[in-house]
Amino acid sequence: MPERMCIACRKKAPPGSLFRMVAGPGGEVYAELDSRLPGRGAYCCFGTECLSRTLEPGNLTRALRSRTATPAADEIAASLRSLLGRRIEGLLGAAWRKKVISAGRDAALRAARPGGGGRLFLAEDLAAGSREEVLKRASLGDGTGAPAELNLTMERVGAVFGGRPVGVFFLADSSLARQVALRSSQVSALAPA
Ligand SMILES: [Zn+2]
Q: Specify if 76 maps to a domain.
A: no
Q: Specify if 82 maps to a domain.
A: no
Q: What is the CATH number of the domain that holds 55?
A: 3.30.1230.10
Q: Specify if 35 maps to a domain.
A: yes
Q: What is the pLDDT of residue 19?
A: 97
Domain assignment of residue 156, given as a range? 87-189
Tell me how many domains the chain contains.
2
CA of 192 to the centre of ligand 1 (A): 17
pLDDT, tens digit, for every residue of 71-84? 889 999 999 999 99
Same domain, 91 and 66: no
Same domain, 13 and 37: yes
Same domain, 91 and 176: yes
| Residue ending a domain, choose from 46, 71, 96 | 71
pLDDT, tens digit, for every residue of 104-163? 999 999 898 777 789 999 999 999 999 999 888 877 654 456 899 999 999 999 999 988
Q: Specify if 100 maps to a domain.
A: yes
CA of 178 to the centre of ligand 1 (A): 21
At 152 the three-state DSSP class reads coil
Confidence of residue 192 (pLDDT cuts 50, 70, 90): confident
Q: Specify if 150 maps to a domain.
A: yes
Q: What is the pTM of this model?
A: 0.91
CA of 193 to the centre of ligand 1 (A): 18
Q: How would you write 76-143 as a 3-class SS string? A: HHHHHHHHHHHHHHHHHHHHHHCCCEEECHHHHHHHCCCCCCCEEEEECCCCHHHHHHHHHHHHHCCC
CA of 161 to the centre of ligand 1 (A): 35
Contacts of 128-137 with C-beta under 8 Å, sequence gap 24+, read 130/105, 130/167, 130/168, 133/105, 134/105, 134/108, 134/109, 134/168, 137/109
CA of 5 to the centre of ligand 1 (A): 8
Ion ligand 1 neighbours (CB, 5 A) are 6, 8-9, 45, 50
